[in-house]
Copies of this chain bind each other. A is one copy, B any other.
Amino acid sequence: MKKVKVGVAGYGVIGQRLADGVFRQQDMELVGVADVAPTLAVRALKEKGMPYDLYLASADRRQAFDDLKIPVSGTLEDMIDKCDVILDSSPGGIGAKNKELYIKHNKKAIFQGGEKNSVADVFFHGYANYEKGLGKDYLKLTSCNTTGLIRSVDCLDRAYGIERVAITIIRRVADPGDYHRGLTNALQIDKAPSHQAVDLMTIMPHVEATGILVHTPITHGHIITVVATGKQKITKEMALAAFEKHPRIRLVSIDEGFMGNASLFRYARDLGNPRGDMYEIALWRDSIVETGDSIMYAINIPQEAVTIPETMDGIRAVMNMQATSEEATAKTNEYLGIGKWKSV
């Protein structure tokens, strides 16, 4: 079978991981990555011996790359030409501009959460609405928090039916290595409802969602608490039974040593995962409590890598590689090694 050709525009925190993810999909071929400047990520690519080809997102900035002897394989448009689909992980707003090139070259594209919904035909999640993405030209992925949140809510919804969720997002404010944003000894609250709750309703329109987001000065993963109200009473045992089957949800407990988001970051590094990343959200068994007929629980969102699997699902959808979410996510999971640990 002919491999689907994929390029990545924007080689930052997400772009690097998208490239890694495509590289591991045996039915896809990574054409290359594009960026505007010789950032640290690009320098690391060079130091690793250029396992991927690099393209210039701004043709007039070639000199900076030449000065550093970083090999360049052409312009962004050259890359686009060679692709079936482009994963756009440019900074917010640039993707909308890049879309003109994708249209010009008649290529499909998948945008990350930083773009406006209007950039895409479908606001997409690999589990919750895969079928809506089939054959479409432009998808926008849910953001990291929403992606992980929906995994857990969709999981309960399929098992028992969910009517309503109220979430509290304890948001990490920056990624490790970020110097352009930060917060110091402060919690910061956003106006409610949080956009993640609103986004969830776009993907799962039959669920009523609201929530409050608080930024915290840490870098290793968001924690979300969810109060989910089912069509029937959902007990702790029922919730656990559903979560245990989900390949992209990792059940953990405090007694095992998973004290918080930083334990999960350390664990992923100790697993030897590339860049110390984790694709799964974690869900604490000992956080699950019943409240009236609702169920409450806490999940950890590894913000740097969590959207990668759903983006791979998105490629499968737009390219009609698999017809159903079940088939598509199974392929993505297989190639990314997700869920293997459940049977260890």
Contact = CB atoms under 8 A, between A and B. Distances in A.
B176 A260 contact: no
B191 A254 contact: yes
Interface stretch (A115-123, A135-143, A150-158, A290-298): A290-298
Contacts of A263: 40, 177, 179
A272 interface: yes
Interface in A140-186: 163-164, 166, 168, 170, 172-179, 181-186
Given A216-B170, A289-B192, A296-B192, A262 B178 contact: yes
B44 A184 contact: no
Contact of A47 (B166, B271, B287): B271
A139 to B, nearest CB: 26
A184 B183 contact: yes
A269 interface: yes
A26 interface: no
B40 A210 contact: no
Interface in A8-50: 16, 39-41, 43-49
A206 to B, nearest CB: 14
Nearest to A227: B166
B272 A189 contact: no
B186 A41 contact: no
A57 interface: no
A211 to B, nearest CB: 8
A269 B265 contact: no
A46 to B, nearest CB: 7
A240 to B, nearest CB: 13
A187 B216 CA distance: 9
Interface in A308-344: 341, 344
Contact of A164 (B215, B256, B292): B292
A231 interface: no
A258 interface: yes
A246 B215 CA distance: 28
| Majority-rule SS of A interface residues | mixed
A259 B217 CA distance: 14
Contacts of A187: 170, 172, 216, 218, 220-221, 223, 260-262
A44 B267 contact: yes
A58 interface: no
Contacts of A276: 269, 275-276
Given A179-B263, A262-B179, A271 B48 contact: yes
A210 to B, nearest CB: 5
Nearest to A197: B289
A65 interface: no
A205 interface: no
A3 interface: no
9 contacts: A44-B271, A47-B271, A176-B265, A179-B183, A179-B263, A187-B261, A215-B260, A270-B275, A272-B275
Interface of A: 16, 39-41, 43-49, 163-164, 166, 168, 170, 172-179, 181-193, 208, 210-212, 214-221, 223, 225, 227, 229, 254, 256-263, 265-267, 269-272, 274-276, 284, 286-292, 294, 296-298, 341, 344
